[in-house]
Structure 1
Amino acid sequence: MLAPGDSWTTWLAERREQRRARGLWRTRRCQAPGGILDFAGNDYLGLAGDPRLAEAQAEGARRHGAGARASHLVSGHLAVHEALEQRLAALTGRPAALLFSTGYMANLGTLQALCDADTRVFQDRLNHASLLDGTALAGARSRRFHHADLEDLERLLSRTPREARMLVVSDGVFSMDGDVADIAGLAATTHRHGGWLMVDDAHGLGVLGAAGDGCVGRAHGIGRVPVLVGTLGKALGSAGAFVAGSQALIDHLVQFARPYIYTTAQPPGVTAATLKALDLLEAEPERRTRLAKLIARFRKEAATLGLPLAGSRTPIQPLVLGESHRVMHWAARLAERGILVGAIREPTVPRGQARLRITLSAAHRDADLEALFEALADCHARDALAEGEVGP
């Protein structure tokens, strides 16, 4: 007979061993400051380590305290939060914006507040997990269309009663592939069927667009993309997220988005740092120029080396190696040289699509890229040698 709690202990052990046996066990790496070349993070503009953001954060904490003390609807909504929401609305060309503590919470809260059992939701098959989870939380009817396939989306929408509330949801830049959604095509298709389009532009904000306003921003107005989500912890180098749209949308989220209502407001120092990041985004366009040059150089030299490039024009440059063990071997070899890259396996990507997720930053030096290319060339050469040894 099992003692009380033993069934849980057994279940945890079984789950652990199943994942280890498949080579999918995840581990955390405690990073010390400096000493490693980071090609795994999302600090696309190199702002996370900028001392001006650190000073703005410290000054914000000195003025307002280390924490906001309460949720936005109790006593935690401060003037610095209000200022940031106004700046984000202006950046994206929307009437209003609403701060969330994380991008995951922004997606979860928005979908939970907008959708119910009567809502028909249509999601790109490669959407971020938070978008899928938000729909599940809302209990909405959800269908997934083939990745970037407007014809498949059209087919699904055409089979939906016109009177139904329809919401089409897509990443702006897909986080594991680096490709950019066809926002104009999605908007036109959705609009034709009387639905709304929601885009999570987490990896486009600050990088794409004429002024770093992302792949949606001002280029695709509120009439075409009524619900726009962006994050602050990637190109802007701080933390948190926001939803931008009409005043009616933001009012609705304030009333009904549970992750917003029941969470302590963002620490004011973080908010102040984000305001400084927006200043630098506007004042230092050379960061984006530098990033674009690094992307072009990476793609040219990776192609010369014969590496398995994907069709990405963003800082996310995946090398699809196929098998999880091969990805882990390459990542380990790079780590031996002091280079950190993302080793992405299932269930984050489909089986057989394991990859190194290499990300570029305006903070990378030319010498950093040279070290990366040397290490990748070594991995590629070792694999070719090993294949020759076991070949016919």
Structure 2
Amino acid sequence: MSDYLLLFSFSLLLAGVFSAYVTVSVMTGDDVTLNPDAIHEMRRWKFKGIEIGTNNQSRNRPNVDSQTGSLFIQNIRTEDTGEYKLEIKRSNDKTLQPFKTFNVILNDKVESVSGVKGGFVTLNTDTQPQTDDVIEWKFENTSIAKVDKRIPSDYFNKERFGDRLHVDSRGSLIITQIKMNESGQYDVNITSSKQIIHKRFSLTVSGVFSAYVTVSVMKGDDVTLNPNVIHEMRRWKFKDIEIKTTDQSRNRLNTQTGSLTIQNISTEDTGEYQLEIKTSEDKVLKPFKTFNVILNDQVITVSVMKEDSFTLPTGVQKQPVDVKWTFNGTDLTGSTITNIRPEQFGEYKGEIDCRDFILQRTLSVKFNDKVESVSVTAGETVTLNTNTPRQADDVIEWKLFQ
């Protein structure tokens, strides 16, 4: 029994003290507090191997709170970046042990985002979501949204934005029906046990204008053209003829979102689709967006061998906002297939979101077990032919198996 109890006690000790690593991404001039999240009388902070004492008299230097053990860094500059290490000593320890490392890095990039009055914008955090994220958004230094994933209570500044704000799972801010006076500086602070992040955005909202979007599709694709703007008064035209919800064709209008879906695209579906809208300030419908749908006869083929690993190609030049693939009705995680097996060959269906339009595309992955034999004499020059046409965006890698 004593041996069992001793082993159990030792396991608890290993689980209690560990060295966690926290990334802290901030901007020049920020103030940041590094929290230990543990209460111990014996603790020590180090920066670049030098101990940081409590009650530091230098106004802008790191200062340790003697009660909480938190480290406060004011008016951060380049020389303050690097690793801050916290050591603690528990009752079972003989010496101070590493507990947490905070890696402070500077990111002074201000991301510029543009939007159209009456439309919506997304301010993307581009972060990996954590279960204990605390996310706060500010507009011109005033808090407008706060989400704490640990408690079911979110705050949104309805007095300023009404019900037009939404924070997604990654902490990105979505503003719908944006107004001209909502241009300006937006800041987000994300705090969790693994990261502390501050990002800044500059949003510019302009009036209604006519945008031009080129949509390159393949024969048989389904494509959805998105207005990205909410207005009750709107009209779609194709070759100067209005598209109506009652039309018995392969074109489908979504009466709620205003999007236009073209199914099973063929040559006669190519050309310019024009969207007109009417805002509260307009007396008549005005041009807002033109989608030029063109056919790309390039066929995407994926020919691989058993146990190959590869990424499913989207066939679009513009970097998609999101890509979802399914195989035999099952959703896939990501776009990469590793160590492909015979049962994984077949048709993959993709939904490719390019923000202004969404493509529904089918991709056929075929099995190729042919091994081409080439015989040469030592010292000769040899050419291994792929027998495939070269594309401008090809990525080619050769491997030698010995």
Normalising to structure 2: TM-score of the pair? 0.24
Could you say which structure has the larger radius of gyration? 2
Pick the structure with more strand per residue: 2
Pick the structure with more helix per residue: 1
